[in-house]
Amino acid sequence: MGFLRRQVVIAALTANAIRPLPGFRVGIPSFFAGWLTGELAPQVLALTVADAAAHATGRRRDPLGLALAGASAAGLAFLIDQARRVGTEVEEALAEGVGVDYVEQLDHAPTPADLAVPWRKLVYPFRMRNDQVRVERDIAYDDHGKRGLLDIYLPAGRPPQGAPVLLQVHGGGWTIGKKEEQGIPLMQHLAAKGWVCVAINYRLAPRDPFPAQVIDVKQAIAWIREHIAAYGGNPDYIAITGGSAGGHLVSLAALTAGDRSWQPGFEDADTSVQCAVPHYGIYDFAGSTGIKSAILMRDRFLGPKVLGKRWESDPDAFEDASPILRITPDAPDFFVLHGSHDSLAHVDQARLFVEKLRRVSKRTVVYAELPGAQHAFDVFPSIRSSHIVRAIDRYLHWHWNTYRREHT
């Protein structure tokens, strides 16, 4: 590919990351292009500058290509600055949602170094290893074969005792995905600090239509209640997190604790959680919000691929699966995160979900809307995800310390 063509591609990717292509049909390609370009903006900027510098020193210079490279560099610098501001924006969301004095409940107040961008770790963003963490893999929590396995992330040093527990639920449109693919930066970060983190597989549609997925999440919660003490976890304290389809399942499980119809064979198990941290979730299966993209998703994907039925034939099934319709005053604490430029899960779903939570729930609700962020902004280490991981760390430690104070 010649220099001009490379710069045309980079310019198009950068423009899409800044302002994604609208529309349901182009949502998936717009997401992939914008997600990777936005989260890898420092790497793309470095390659663009190096390519332009090499071309500028050659015999044949393409003014249009160099101009496009300059425009792309400016756009990528904008994306980097936007990602760097996430730390301040999420901190403001935490202060608004749980009080400006929440930092006083932490073991240690964050230092400027704690809040700075960890540039060294971002050089190789797909290399996710942490020598401070060990993983117990492929433990069965039900009888569904590979889809009924979980991994447990533990501190590598002294075994924990009575540690708080985080349950991670992967995304993938309810049809794909594995426990090893998502939530790794957050689980490694927390496990290194002494938490016990559990990542699960669950049955996938369309082979196993919904509600098989939320049943499995609830069964994993029940397994944690019964068995996690053997791994040093506190069975009385479970936080739950996940993104996309995982964000939907996290929210739905958190809002339907004790729903016996979704606990076959373990009807009396305690499936409550103490707090939920969904990322870029789907909150409206039924199209009840009237959002056009939610209705299109219901009719073109959720119905035929996930539930295996049509809205017209069984609207109750779609409504039962909608977290926004399952909110009660007894909902647990929530920390909701969503990108303003999400091409797959429109941000209006998150806004309306949070609005209803704040109106109905008796517990705290934190909402961080991340300007310029696409779907899946936390999958691998990036500027934005590093800020998000540490913000969730502060939130969860605030919540855990508050819980301990209230239960002693």
Catalytic residues: 244, 342, 375
Distances (CA, A) of 181 to 82, 176, 193, 202, 383: 26, 11, 21, 13, 19
Rg, the chain, Cα only: 22
The answer to whether 269 and 225 have CB atoms below 8 angstroms apart is: yes
Whole-number Å distance between alpha carbons of 82 and 261? 44
**Residue 151: φ, ψ to 5°:** -115, 145
CB atoms within 10 A of CB 138: 11
Q: CA dihedral in degrees (229, 231, 232, 236; nearest 10)?
A: -40
Distances (CA, A) of 367 to 169, 336, 339: 20, 5, 11
| Amino acid (1-letter code) at residue 96 | E
CB atoms within 10 A of CB 31: 21
Of the CA atoms within 13 Å of residue 255, those in its CB half-sphere come to 25
Whole-number Å distance between alpha carbons of 307 and 209? 5
